[in-house]
């Protein structure tokens, strides 16, 4: 990148709130999987004479999100009408929030290559989604559009950042952080593929050392982290190239195409759109009391960044392992319960944590992938799991056996002891039976014994291999080695 310039990026994220019903009516908000136009009523269809009623849960989720990113919550919030005409907008205006959003002045910490940075969040507000238009081109050359009203009136939150990001990498990191926060507080499913977490990005360039903002370009509705990142990279280069040959940046909206990996001009903004905002007369302002905020605050448990730090500290895990574990609530809880139970069983806290983390981060995700299952489909009894950890730490199972037992536990829901018994998978650590087996093997393999006595260390490996063969792999290799050496020395 050209060092003369500084990139300035601000992001607007629209995230669908995790409510059962729509923003202003009782229709289900599960539009993604529903038959077209099956989640509709006169209110969300904008029929004459109907009135909106605020979904209180949606307001709570905005307050919760605001609190989670350090916003102040306005004591009074109100709705406004944003007027524009388009067939996907049922009433001819969108109920949104203009000058009194629910939450303002927050911030989000990101870390990039070990450097911490705080990105300002201007506001978090509530609004309703619009219908989906599906454009159809017929073979005879005509075209028409179909309207699916299911999405109309679904509650969205808009999270607007300050233009604080200085590179596509920072923007990417901000999105990852924000995404993980709204998911962890269950404000949104934030599923990007389903369109419940969408991003508009504003990007401009200026000469380093200057403070004035350059002409900004808006990139609309990009649906994956990768696409946002690629679009910003592309746009950054495009703008620098233009500036370098002395051309002006045009203020416009550009769309990102995943196929061509380019942004393409969609609409040139000659003047700002006039949405003629005015207070929504059908909805009185909402008073947000301190008690209400406190009550919501008390439901916010640990935020992702805090949880990672705690895992690193109390379990002595790496940042990588910790963030993998906490990315799924069920797994994180399962992990913590298991490690605590291991402690009750008298096992070493840190080493059980390490064993447990490995099984969950490596083996569990492999099993989920292979079997195409969700974590919720599996047996996750932490009592069973802690016994498995105990068996591993006491060398009753070697690591291959442990993986097999683990997989069967998850799939069959039986205790590890039962599974190990059924599959005949217990490591023989019992010295008496091993002594006998080894003594026979030594007597049948005197050349190898002789080799060892002559100083050929590798002979021991051959002997162990014989023990494993005899015990079908169940002998504890460490104990077997000790016995072999002591028997040879005694003989």
Tell me which residues touch another protein (CB under 8 A). 42, 45-54, 81, 83, 85, 87, 90-93, 145, 147, 272, 274, 276-278, 281-284
Whole-number minimum distance, CB 142 to another protein, in Å?
A: 11
Residue placing its CB nearer to another protein in the complex, 62 or 425 = 62
Of 407, 428, 421, the closest CA to residue 473 belongs to 428
The SS3 assignment for 461 reads: helix
Whole-number minimum distance, CB 119 to Zn ion, in Å?
A: 36
What tokens were used for 13?
């994220």
Whole-number minimum distance, CB 270 to another protein, in Å?
A: 14
By rule CB under 5 A, what string of x and - marks binding of each residue 7-26 to Zn ion?
A: ------------------x-
Question: How far apart are alpha carbons 236 and 222 in whole angstroms?
Answer: 16
Residue placing its CB nearer to Zn ion in the complex, 25 or 387 = 25
For residue 485, the partner it binds in another protein, Zn ion, none, with Cβ less than 5 to 8 A by kind, is none
Residue placing its CB nearer to another protein in the complex, 52 or 304 = 52
Question: How far apart are alpha carbons 52 and 39 in whole angstroms?
Answer: 16
Question: How far apart are alpha carbons 420 and 397 in whole angstroms?
Answer: 9
For residue 47, the partner it binds in Zn ion, another protein, none, with Cβ less than 5 to 8 A by kind, is another protein
Whole-number minimum distance, CB 59 to another protein, in Å?
A: 13
Which of 8, 34, 41, 283 binds Zn ion (CB under 5 A)? It is: 41
Which DSSP letter does residue 165 get? B
Q: 91-109: b or e for each residue (b if 16 or more CB lie within 10 Å)?
A: bebbbbbbebbbbbebebe
Stretch that binds Zn ion, among 44-52, 115-123, 341-349, 381-389 (CB under 5 A): 44-52
What tokens were used for 486?
């002591």
Whole-number minimum distance, CB 381 to Zn ion, in Å?
A: 42
Which of 9, 11, 13, 27 binds Zn ion (CB under 5 A)? It is: 27
Residue placing its CB nearer to another protein in the complex, 97 or 177 = 97
Residue placing its CB nearer to Zn ion in the complex, 282 or 319 = 282
Stretch that binds Zn ion, among 43-51, 154-162, 356-364, 474-482 (CB under 5 A): 43-51
Kindly state whether residue 417 participates in binding Zn ion, applying the rule CB under 5 A.
no
Question: How far apart are alpha carbons 439 and 443 in whole angstroms?
Answer: 6
Stretch that binds Zn ion, among 40-48, 202-210, 388-396, 468-476 (CB under 5 A): 40-48
- C-alpha dist (Å) from residue 273 to 27, 118, 204, 276, 361: 31, 31, 20, 9, 49
Question: How far apart are alpha carbons 453 and 374 in whole angstroms?
Answer: 55
Q: 358-381: b or e for each residue (b if 16 or more CB lie within 10 Å)?
A: ebbbeebeebbeeeeeebeebebb
Neighbours of 193 (CB within 10 A): 9
For residue 109, the partner it binds in another protein, Zn ion, none, with Cβ less than 5 to 8 A by kind, is none
Whole-number minimum distance, CB 134 to Zn ion, in Å?
A: 20
Find the binding residues for Zn ion in span 453-472 (CB under 5 A): none
Question: How far apart are alpha carbons 28 and 35 in whole angstroms?
Answer: 12
Residue placing its CB nearer to Zn ion in the complex, 30 or 244 = 30
Contact 30, 39 (CB under 8 A): yes
Stretch that binds Zn ion, among 27-35, 230-238, 246-254, 448-456 (CB under 5 A): 27-35
Whole-number minimum distance, CB 149 to Zn ion, in Å?
A: 8
Of 308, 354, 30, 359, the closest CA to residue 176 belongs to 308
What tokens were used for 117?
């940075």
Which of 44, 205, 296, 434 binds Zn ion (CB under 5 A)? It is: 44
Contact 325, 184 (CB under 8 A): no
Whole-number minimum distance, CB 146 to another protein, in Å?
A: 12
For residue 27, the partner it binds in another protein, Zn ion, none, with Cβ less than 5 to 8 A by kind, is Zn ion
Whole-number minimum distance, CB 331 to Zn ion, in Å?
A: 36
For residue 44, the partner it binds in another protein, Zn ion, none, with Cβ less than 5 to 8 A by kind, is Zn ion
Whole-number minimum distance, CB 97 to another protein, in Å?
A: 15
Question: How far apart are alpha carbons 130 and 89 in whole angstroms?
Answer: 5
For residue 250, the partner it binds in Zn ion, another protein, none, with Cβ less than 5 to 8 A by kind, is none
For residue 50, the partner it binds in another protein, Zn ion, none, with Cβ less than 5 to 8 A by kind, is another protein
Whole-number minimum distance, CB 267 to another protein, in Å?
A: 15
- C-alpha dist (Å) from residue 490 to 434, 461, 486: 16, 19, 6
DSSP string over 173-234: HHHHHHHHHHHHTTS----TTTTSEEEEEEEEEEETT--S----EEEEEE-SHHHHHHHHHH
For residue 423, the partner it binds in Zn ion, another protein, none, with Cβ less than 5 to 8 A by kind, is none
In this structure, the strands spanning 217-222 and 197-207 are: antiparallel
Residue placing its CB nearer to another protein in the complex, 50 or 375 = 50
The residues of the shown chain that bind Zn ion, judged by CB under 5 A, are 25, 27, 41, 43-44
């Amino acid at each position: 990148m050209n060092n003369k310039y500084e990139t300035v990026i601000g992001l607007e994220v629209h995230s669908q709130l995790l409510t059962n019903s729509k923003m202003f009516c009782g229709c289900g908000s599960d539009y993604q999987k529903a038959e077209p136009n099956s989640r509709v009523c006169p209110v969300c269809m904008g029929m004459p004479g109907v009135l909106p009623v605020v979904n209180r849960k949606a307001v709570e989720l905005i307050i919760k999100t605001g609190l989670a990113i350090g916003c102040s919550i306005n004591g009074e919030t109100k709705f406004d009408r944003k007027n524009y005409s388009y067939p996907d907008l049922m009433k001819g205006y969108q109920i949104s929030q203009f000058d009194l959003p629910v939450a303002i002045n927050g911030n989000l910490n990101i870390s990039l290559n070990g450097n911490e940075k705080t990105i300002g969040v201007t506001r978090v507000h509530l609004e309703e989604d619009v219908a989906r238009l599906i454009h159809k081109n017929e073979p005879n050359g005509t075209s028409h559009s179909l309207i699916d009203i299911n999405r109309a009136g679904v509650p969205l939150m808009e999270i607007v950042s300050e233009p604080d990001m200085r590179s596509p990498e920072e923007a990417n990191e901000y999105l990852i952080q924000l995404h993980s926060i709204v998911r962890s507080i269950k404000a949104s499913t934030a599923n990007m593929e389903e369109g419940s977490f969408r991003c508009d990005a504003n990007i401009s360039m200026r000469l380093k050392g200057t403070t004035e903002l350059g002409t900004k370009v808006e990139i609309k509705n990009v649906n994956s982290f990768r696409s946002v990142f690629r679009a910003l990279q592309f746009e950054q280069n495009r703008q620098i190239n233009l500036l370098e040959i002395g051309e002006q940046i045009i203020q416009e909206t550009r769309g990102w195409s995943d196929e061509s990996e380019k942004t393409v001009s969609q609409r040139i903004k000659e003047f700002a759109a006039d949405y003629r905002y005015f207070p929504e007369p059908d909805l009185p302002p909402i008073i947000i009391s301190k008690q209400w905020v406190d009550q919501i605050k008390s439901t916010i448990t640990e935020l992702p960044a805090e949880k990672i730090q705690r895992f690193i500290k109390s379990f002595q895990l790496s940042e990588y392992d910790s963030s993998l574990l906490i990315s799924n609530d069920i797994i994180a809880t399962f992990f913590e319960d298991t490690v605590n139970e291991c402690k009750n069983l008298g096992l070493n806290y840190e080493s059980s944590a390490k064993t447990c983390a490995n099984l969950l981060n490596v083996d569990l995700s492999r099993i989920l992938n292979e079997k195409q299952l969700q974590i919720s489909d599996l047996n996750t009894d932490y009592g069973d799991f802690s016994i498995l950890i105990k068996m591993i730490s006491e060398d009753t199972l070697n690591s291959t056996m442990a993986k097999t037992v683990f997989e069967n536990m998850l799939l069959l829901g039986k205790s590890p002891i039962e599974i190990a018994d059924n599959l005949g998978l217990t490591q023989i650590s019992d010295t008496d039976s091993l002594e006998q087996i080894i003594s026979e093997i030594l007597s049948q393999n005197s050349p190898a014994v002789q080799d060892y006595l002559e100083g050929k260390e590798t002979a021991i490996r051959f002997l162990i291999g014989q023990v494993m063969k005899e015990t079908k792999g169940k002998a504890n290799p460490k104990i077997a080695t000790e016995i072999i050496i002591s028997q040879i020395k005694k003989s």
